[in-house]
Amino acid sequence: MIADIWTVLRKDWIELTLAGGGPRAGAVRAALVVFVFGIIIPLQAGRDWVDAPAFLAFWTSMPLLLVSGVVADSFAGERERHTLETLLATPLSDRAILLGKVGAVVAYGWGLAVASLPIALLTVNLAERGGPLILYPLPVLGGILLAGLLTALFGATAGVLVSLRAHTVRQAQQLLGIALLALLFLPLLGARLLPAAVADLIASRLAATDPALLAGLALAALAALDLLLLALAAARFRRDRLILD
């Protein structure tokens, strides 16, 4: 089982990194992401890149942004290239194919984010030279890495669910984009519609709660959501239906 998952993961990883060109093009795309998020933005933000809560939240959402740009190709791309039938005709199990594809997308998005993190820290320290060494506290660093992994998994599982039934990559990208926008704006809209007294009560309760506890609860909820989406993807993955589609 592990070997089969690795086979699919490796195949999709190669396709992700070489899409649109050879190894040089893939390396250029990866270097561009690391350059922007590891040098350009941290250089402009300075020490706030490490200290400000908004930038800490950005590190957890960056893998989601990277994943959402490539996950639509997972099954819809195979369908467009007429390679899906060949993949499904192999003796690989349904679970191995699904987990391998999810794993490749997660490794791509989370891997680029992790690669950008130490470069961003180096950039900030060089920009703020003369002062004490700027580093994330270990609990914060661990939280960033774990949250990034969970958001990458969320984007991968949600994207695979869409890509399973989409006939083209463009269609999958559009549906996934609409879903992510709804996920972003619906909570904001709901918060705006709350009565002022209720909103103030919630804000005061949150302000009085230990931030570490809030972060732990948020990570636990995200992990549960990831498992739910993965279970839904496994339930929807039916080799015979995919071939007929």
pLDDT digits (tens, 9 = 90+) for 63-116: 888 898 888 888 888 888 888 888 888 888 888 899 999 999 999 999 999 999
**CA separation for the pair 107, 113 (Å, rounded):** 10
pLDDT at 54 > cutoff 90: no
**CA separation for the pair 158, 222 (Å, rounded):** 13
Query: To the nearest whole percent, how much of the chain has pLDDT over 70?
Result: 85
Within 13 Å, how many C-alpha atoms sit on residue 163's CB side?
28
User: How many angstroms from the chain centroid is the CA of residue 225?
Assistant: 13
Residue 52: pLDDT band with limits 50, 70, 90: confident
Q: What is the pLDDT of residues 158-198, one digit of tens each?
A: 989 888 888 888 888 888 888 777 776 676 666 677 677 76
What is the pTM assigned to this prediction? 0.85
| pLDDT (0 to 100) of residue 105 | 93
Higher pLDDT, 51 or 123: 123
